[in-house]
Amino acid sequence: MIVGAGIFAFINIIVAGYGFLSAGGDSKKVEAAWNKIWQSLLGLAFVAGSFVLAAIFGWLIFKDPTAILSPKIYGP
């Protein structure tokens, strides 16, 4: 899902950049493109933040930052 979020954000930024370049000075189109770029970057920040939160919770609960990100299953 994280790779999908990254690809989706990349495509959104490319499309918004094209919309920004083709706006031709129309303030509504420029604002819409900036909003789309901002929302894509904010989404990427949330995805990156989820890794940071998982590492913090793993360290607090299991004393290992990678415990949640790469769990070890012990069995027979």
56 is a domain residue: yes
71 is a domain residue: no
**pTM metric for this prediction:** 0.76
74 is a domain residue: no
Provide the domain limits for residue 35.
2-62
Instruction: Give 6-27 pLDDT, tens digit per residue.
Output: 999 999 999 999 999 999 889 9
51 is a domain residue: yes
60, 64, 67 from 72: Cα distances, Å: 17, 12, 8
* Domain total in the chain: 1
36 is a domain residue: yes
9 is a domain residue: yes
70 is a domain residue: no
68 is a domain residue: no
* Residue from 34, 44, 37, 45 nearest 13 by CA: 37
Instruction: Give 24-75 pLDDT, tens digit per residue.
Output: 889 999 999 999 999 999 999 999 999 999 999 999 999 999 998 888 888 8
